[in-house]
C-alpha cells in the first residue's frame, strides 16, 4: 500500500528537521567542552572565541496562527547573543511554491549570525501548514502580517526594522504584502512576478508547461483550493468563455495592481530574476521596476526559474544571496555598504557572465538595429518547424552552465511551416541588451491562431542559437483580412559574435505553449509599403 500525501509530508518534514538539527549543532559538544571561560579582564572587543551561545543562532520550530485561525508551520532563527532588552531587525521568508519550511534554513542561519531575527514559514495550503493554496490571494497577504505580528510579540525583533523576502512564490507574497503592511521597510523578491497574467499568459497565449508544472507540484505537495483548480482547468482547457474571470483572478494577485500602494508605503525593493525564467519572464519585472518610486534595484542573470539563487539555498557561494544580505544590511541596519550608490540595474550577460551596471532599465540599450521583414511569406500551421523555445527549466539551465541554448539549423527549417528572415553578417560583435520588438502584418484563414517568434544567432554553418522568443495568439479576426501584430520578445543580454547573422523565425507550434490554430489554417506575413514589417533589436555599443 502506498503512503498517503499527508504521511509523505510528515516524513519529509521529520527528516528535514533532523537534518537541520544535525547541521546546526554539528560540533557543538566539542566546542562547548573546549571553550574557555571568559576572564574577568577580557575586553568586549577581544578576539578570543565567542561563547557557544553567541556562535550558534537559536533555532525553534513553531506554530503560528495565520489568517482565519489556520496553523502556519515555521522556523525561527534568533541571534545567539540575544539578551533581554536587545532588539534585532526582522526578516520574514515565505516559502516557494511546493517547498517545505526548511527551504531557507541555510540563508536564515547566515542572517541570524549577522544579527537578524529570521522567520521562515510554510505558505498556507502546502505541506503541514493549514488551509488551502490560495495562490498569493488575500489570505496569503494576511498571513504575512500575522507572522510579523507573531515575531514582534515572541522574538527580540525590532518593529521599526522589518523586511520580507523569498524565492518565487515567497517573492510574490513579499511584494504584495509590502502594499498592505506599512511595517515592511525592505523587500528582496527573487525569481518572482509583478504581473501574473503577463507571466503565464503573455501574448494571450497559455504557457502550458509552466502552468502544468505549477498545477502538478501544487497537487503533489499541497491542497489546491477549488478556485485554483477551476482556474487551471479553464486555463489549460482553453476555455475562452472564462478568460475574463481568469484575468481578473490573476490581476488580483499581481503586485503591479497595487503599485500606487507599494510606492506610497516606500519599502526599498530589490528584484532579481533570470533571463530564461520559464514561469515569470523578465519583461514584466523590468516594467514593474521602472514604475517603482522608492529605493530599488533590479538584477538579471543567466538561468531559469530560481536557478540563480538555488545554489545559495544549499549553502554554496551565491552572489544573489550576497546582494540580498547587503540590501537588508543597508535598509534595515543602516550599514554604509555602498549598495545605494551602485548602479541600480545590474545585468549579467549570458555570453560573458560579467556584470554590467546601468542607471535605469531604459538606459540599457544605447540604440536599436532593425531587421526588415520584407516580402510575403505564407506558412501552414499545426506543424513544428524545428524552431522552439526548448523545455521548461532544462534548456535555460543548459544555457546558464554550459552556454548551450536551444538550437536549430536555419537553412534546414522547412519554409512551408516557418517564415524566415535574416540580417546581413555583422562585421563587429552585436551586444543585444534589453527587449527586442516585432511588428508585422498577419492574414489568417481562420478567426483564431497562434504564432511564435524566435530570434537566433546564426553562425557560419547556419546553426542558430536561440537569443529570445515570445508567443502571440489572436481571436475574433476576420478570415482573409490583414491585421497588425506588435510583440515584445523576452528580454535578454546576449552577444552575437562578429561574422554572425541574426535570424527571425515565426512558426505556429512550440511545446512550451498551447496553440490555437484550427486544422488546415494558414498564416501569411506581409510588409505593406505604408506599414513595413520589422524586428527591432536593442543593442549596447
C-alpha cell belonging to residue 52: 557557544
Q: Is the pLDDT of residue 43 over 90?
A: no
Position 421 scores a pLDDT of: 98
Calculate the CA dihedral of residues 212, 512, 192, 357 and round it to 10 degrees: 170
Written as nine digits, the cell of 195 is: 504581473
* Contact of 113 with 79, CB cutoff 8 Å: yes
For residue 76 the three cell numbers come to 525561527
The pLDDT tens digits for 139-180 are 999 999 999 999 999 999 999 999 999 999 999 999 999 999
Q: With contact defined as beta carbons under 8 Å apart, do 187 and 164 qualify?
A: yes
Residue with cell 536549430: 408
Specify the pLDDT at position 84.
87
Q: Pick the closest to residue 345 from 387, 297, 285 (CA basis).
A: 297
Segment 246-301, tens digit of pLDDT: 999 999 999 999 999 999 999 999 999 999 999 999 999 999 999 999 999 999 99
Task: Find residue 441's DSSP bridge partners.
Answer: 484, 526
Interatomic CA distance for residues 141 and 394, integer angstroms = 32
pLDDT at position 53 is 42
* 397 pLDDT more than 90: yes
- In the DSSP assignment, the letter for residue 246 is H
| DSSP secondary structure of 198-240 | HHHSGGG--BHHHHHHHHHHHHHHB-B-HHHHHHHHHHHTT-G
CA nearest to 81, candidates 101, 47, 49, 57: 57
Strands 345-348 and 296-301: parallel
**Structural contact between residues 377 and 525, judged by C-beta atoms closer than 8 angstroms:** yes
Residues forming a β-bridge with 345? 298, 358
Record the cell numbers describing residue 60, joined without a space: 525553534
Quote the pTM value.
Answer: 0.89
| Model pLDDT for residues 319-356, shown as the tens digit of each residue | 999 999 999 999 999 999 999 999 999 999 999 999 99
**What are the percentages of helix, strand and coil residues in the chain, rounded to 5?**
30, 30, 40
pLDDT digits (tens, 9 = 90+) for 437-470: 999 999 999 999 999 999 999 999 999 999 999 9
What is the SS3 assignment for 34? helix
Inform me whether the pLDDT recorded for 492 exceeds 90.
yes
> What pLDDT shows up at residue 213?
94
**Chain-centre distance of CA 124, in angstroms?**
20
The rounded distance, in Å, linking the Cα atoms of 155 and 60 is 11
pLDDT of residue 56: 61
Categorize the per-residue pLDDT at 41 as very low, low, confident or very high, splitting at 50, 70 and 90.
Answer: very low
Amino acid at each position: 500500500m502506498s503512503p498517503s500525501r499527508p504521511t509523505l509530508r510528515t516524513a519529509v518534514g521529520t527528516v528535514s528537521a533532523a537534518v537541520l538539527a544535525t547541521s546546526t549543532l554539528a560540533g557543538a559538544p566539542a566546542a562547548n567542552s573546549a571553550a574557555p571561560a571568559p576572564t574577568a579582564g577580557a575586553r568586549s572587543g577581544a578576539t578570543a572565541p565567542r561563547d557557544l551561545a553567541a556562535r550558534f543562532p537559536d533555532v525553534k520550530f513553531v506554530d503560528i496562527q495565520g489568517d482565519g485561525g489556520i496553523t502556519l508551520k515555521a522556523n525561527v532563527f534568533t541571534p545567539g547573543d540575544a539578551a533581554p532588552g536587545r532588539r534585532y531587525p526582522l526578516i520574514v521568508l515565505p516559502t516557494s511554491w511546493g517547498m517545505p519550511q526548511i527551504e531557507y534554513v541555510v540563508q536564515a542561519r547566515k542572517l541570524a549570525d549577522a544579527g537578524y531575527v529570521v522567520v521562515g514559514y510554510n505558505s498556507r495550503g502546502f505541506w503541514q501548514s493549514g488551509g488551502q493554496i490560495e495562490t498569493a490571494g488575500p489570505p496569503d497577504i494576511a498571513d504575512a502580517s500575522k507572522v510579523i505580528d507573531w515575531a514582534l510579540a515572541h522574538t527580540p525583533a525590532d518593529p521599526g526594522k522589518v523586511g520580507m523576502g523569498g524565492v518565487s512564490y515567497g517573492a510574490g507574497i513579499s511584494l504584495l504584502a509590502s502594499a498592505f503592511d506599512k511595517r515592511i521597510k525592505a523587500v528582496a523578491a527573487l525569481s518572482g512576478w509583478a504581473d501574473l497574467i503577463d507571466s503565464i499568459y503573455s501574448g494571450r497565449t497559455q504557457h502550458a508547461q509552466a502552468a502544468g508544472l505549477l498545477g502538478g507540484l501544487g497537487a503533489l505537495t499541497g491542497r489546491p483550493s477549488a478556485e485554483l483548480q477551476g482556474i487551471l482547468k479553464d486555463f489549460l482547457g482553453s476555455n475562452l468563455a472564462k478568460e475574463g474571470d481568469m484575468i481578473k483572478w490573476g490581476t488580483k494577485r499581481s503586485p503591479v495592481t497595487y503599485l500606487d500602494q507599494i510606492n506610497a508605503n516606500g519599502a526599498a525593493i530589490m528584484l532579481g530574476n533570470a533571463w530564461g525564467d520559464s514561469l515569470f519572464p523578465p519583461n514584466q519585472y523590468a516594467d514593474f521596476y521602472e514604475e517603482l518610486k522608492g529605493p530599488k534595484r533590479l538584477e538579471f542573470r543567466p538561468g531559469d526559474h530560481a536557478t540563480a539563487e538555488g545554489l545559495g539555498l544549499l549553502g554554496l557561494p551565491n552572489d544573489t544571496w550576497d546582494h540580498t544580505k547587503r540590501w537588508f544590511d543597508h535598509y534595515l541596519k543602516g550599514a554604509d555598504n555602498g549598495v545605494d550608490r551602485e548602479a541600480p540595474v545590474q545585468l549579467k550577460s549570458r555570453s560573458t557572465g560579467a556584470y554590467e551596471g546601468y542607471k535605469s532599465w531604459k538606459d540599457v540599450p544605447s540604440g536599436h538595429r532593425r531587421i526588415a521583414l520584407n516580402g510575403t511569406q505564407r506558412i501552414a500551421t499545426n506543424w513544428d518547424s524545428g524552431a522552439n523555445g526548448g523545455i521548461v527549466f532544462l534548456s535555460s539551465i543548459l544555457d546558464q552552465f554550459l552556454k548551450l541554448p536551444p538550437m536549430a539549423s536555419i537553412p534546414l527549417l522547412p519554409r512551408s511551416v516557418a517564415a524566415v528572415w535574416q540580417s546581413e553578417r555583422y562585421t563587429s560583435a552585436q551586444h543585444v541588451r534589453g527587449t527586442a520588438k516585432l511588428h508585422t502584418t498577419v492574414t489568417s484563414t481562420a478567426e483564431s491562431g497562434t504564432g511564435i517568434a524566435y530570434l537566433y544567432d546564426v553562425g557560419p554553418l547556419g546553426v542558430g542559437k536561440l537569443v529570445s522568443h515570445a508567443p502571440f495568439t489572436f481571436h475574433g479576426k476576420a478570415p482573409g483580412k490583414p491585421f497588425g501584430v506588435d510583440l515584445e520578445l523576452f528580454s535578454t543580454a546576449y552577444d552575437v559574435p562578429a561574422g554572425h547573422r541574426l535570424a527571425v523565425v515565426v512558426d505556429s507550434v512550440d511545446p512550451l505553449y498551447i496553440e490555437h490554430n484550427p486544422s488546415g489554417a494558414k498564416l501569411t506575413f506581409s510588409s505593406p509599403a505604408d506599414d513595413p514589417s520589422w524586428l527591432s533589436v536593442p543593442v549596447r555599443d
